[in-house]
Structure 1
Amino acid sequence: MEWLHRQLLHLKIYSNFIEWTKGCVLPGFSPLPLYTVATFFFREIGKDTLVNKASSLAYSFMLAIFPGIIFLFTLIPFIPIKGFQDQLLSLIELVLPHNAYDAFESTLKDIVKNQNTGLLSLGFLSAIFFATNGVKNLMKAFNKSSLIIETRGWLKQRLIAFVLTTV
């Protein structure tokens, strides 16, 4: 990559662009010119740390989706709209492939038609837990990228993540 950069510096348009980025400062990056930000970004991509952080955060938040879906589906029997559950099941049948709907039909009918407070509580608590894990990992990534050492205890971190999740 360095070899390519040195070869391209012989082109006037490329060297002018590099000089322009050394003087251009983007909003929010106040003391740092665009050149410094871009070189840091591409260096981090080369080290794979940025990609690892991004995949870790994506995994953390993706993990919270499934308990959230369980929570939302177990809320449906508590909705007092007549025929809502049947309409929802027919809509799900239209959206899902036939084989997938056949596999989940009995489970979906049980969840959508019967009030299950235990599953509702479990879905809510696990969704909140995994969502706060995602926010906590995001806080950790921000701290690491800003070279900040975390001084708050585990419980305080979890409470801050909970507040950020619910707000």
Structure 2
Amino acid sequence: MKVNIEKIKAKVDYYRQRLESVLRLIIIPGFEGVPLYDVLVYFIRGFTKVNLVDRAAAVAFNVFLALFPMILFLFTLIPYLPLQGVTTNLLEALQEILPPGTYESVANTIKEIMSIEHGGLMSIGLLLAFYFSTSAVSSFFRGFNMGDKEFGQVSFIKEQLYSILVMIMFVALLLLSIVLMTMGQRLLSVFFVKIHFYNDFVIFLINLLRWLIAIFALIVAMSLLYHFGDPRSKKFKLFTPGTLLFTGLFIVGTLLFNFYISNISTYNVLYGSIGGLIIFVMWIYFNCILILVGYELNKSIAKARINDDAKLLRN
């Protein structure tokens, strides 16, 4: 029996070494010349130092508090934009992104907001959105490097200033994306109607354009968040491995999560109307995990590169 265990251990060590040697030969574009094995070592170590689930839970709470004041502010601001159909486009985008069972509650709240006067409400919404949104961004910054003495933390003053700056850029990016989607849809529709070529393929192109704009805006938003949350980042990079990983996981994860809620989960049956709120919180929490995973990949690449540079200097 002892001999068999030793043989099993020997085989495990053999295959582990083979796998390690293969991973050391793989250098993925964007990894700054660092072997995949070195990145994976730091990537896994980052999750074991401080529990990813705990970090995501802390961030998700602040994001949940920030969402509704931000929605309140945005939908009271949208009527002042010199375009028609902006609200409709945004509601359609929300319907496709949000998990089933949650859109109705969010849409009803938004429609109630749009049906009343905006003066005092906009001022209150602005204050609430400003406070909770900056807190949410700050919680991301703290969650990125929590418990990581090697990488450090953004100083408190920088954290607050960066939170305000990132929040302002997020709002500007969101409004710009909405305007581009609305204008693009309208221009394409007018163009194809004039040339008498408006069919299902054109509708597909319009929807594709809308989603390409949304995905690009998401990449820019995550790149900004990762850049300002990294205490060692000096040069802004739009396409980083962490940003692309998050974007891919977000798209696939949202589709799978929506499929699970629609076909498998029984939250609405068990909890009734509050089931939609539970699903919404789960969706936020799930995406906070993905954001932390994307940042952890960028940080792992940076650490592996620093370690390789240190080895070269010693040699």
- Normalising by the smaller structure, the TM-score range is 0.5 to 0.7
Give, in angstroms, the shift of residue 7 of structure 1: 5.4
Match of 1:124 in 2: 126
Match of 1:51 in 2: 53
Unaligned stretches of 5+ residues in structure 2: 1-7, 170-315
Asked if structure 2 preserves the Cα contact closer than 8 Å seen for 1:67 and 1:123, the reply is: yes
What does 1:68-147 align with in structure 2 at a 5 Å threshold?
Answer: 68-75=70-77, 109=112, 111-144=113-146, 145=148, 147=151
Establish whether residue 148 from structure 1 lines up as the match of residue 165 from structure 2: no
What does 1:10-49 align with in structure 2 at a 5 Å threshold?
Answer: 10-11=14-15, 15-30=17-32, 32-47=34-49, 49=51
Label 1:115 to 1:160 Cα distance change in 2 as closer, same or farther (>3 A).
Answer: same
* Cα separation, 2, equivalents of 1:8 and 1:164: 47
Give, in angstroms, the shift of residue 80 of structure 1: 9.3
* Cα separation, 2, equivalents of 1:81 and 1:149: 42
Amino acid at match of 1:41: F
Deviations 1:24-63 (A, max 9, x none): 3344444743223223333443455223223333333332
* Cα separation, 1, equivalents of 2:117 and 2:66: 22
Q: Taking CA–CA contacts closer than 8 Å with sequence separation of 6 or more, which of the two structures ends up with the larger relative contact order?
A: 2
* Cα separation, 2, equivalents of 1:153 and 1:115: 38
Amino acid at match of 2:70: G
Aligned-pair identity in percent equals 29
Asked if structure 1 preserves the Cα contact closer than 8 Å seen for 2:56 and 2:143, the reply is: no
Deviations 1:126-158 (A, max 9, x none): 2222222222222233444562244x444x431
Asked if structure 1 preserves the Cα contact closer than 8 Å seen for 2:69 and 2:125, the reply is: yes
TM-score (normalizing by structure 2): 0.36
Amino acid at match of 1:8: V
Match of 1:8 in 2: 12
Amino acid at match of 1:68: M
Deviations 1:101-141 (A, max 9, x none): 7xx68x954x3332132221121222222222222222233
Asked if structure 1 preserves the Cα contact closer than 8 Å seen for 2:27 and 2:33, the reply is: yes
Asked if structure 2 preserves the Cα contact closer than 8 Å seen for 1:76 and 1:112, the reply is: no
Amino acid at match of 2:163: A
TM-score (normalizing by structure 1): 0.60
Give, in angstroms, the shift of residue 67 of structure 1: 0.8
* Cα separation, 2, equivalents of 1:113 and 1:80: 19
Give, in angstroms, the shift of residue 72 of structure 1: 3.2
Asked if structure 1 preserves the Cα contact closer than 8 Å seen for 2:70 and 2:133, the reply is: no
* Cα separation, 1, equivalents of 2:83 and 2:31: 51
Larger Rg, first or second structure (1 or 2): 1
Label 1:79 to 1:35 Cα distance change in 2 as closer, same or farther (>3 A).
Answer: closer
Amino acid at match of 1:69: I
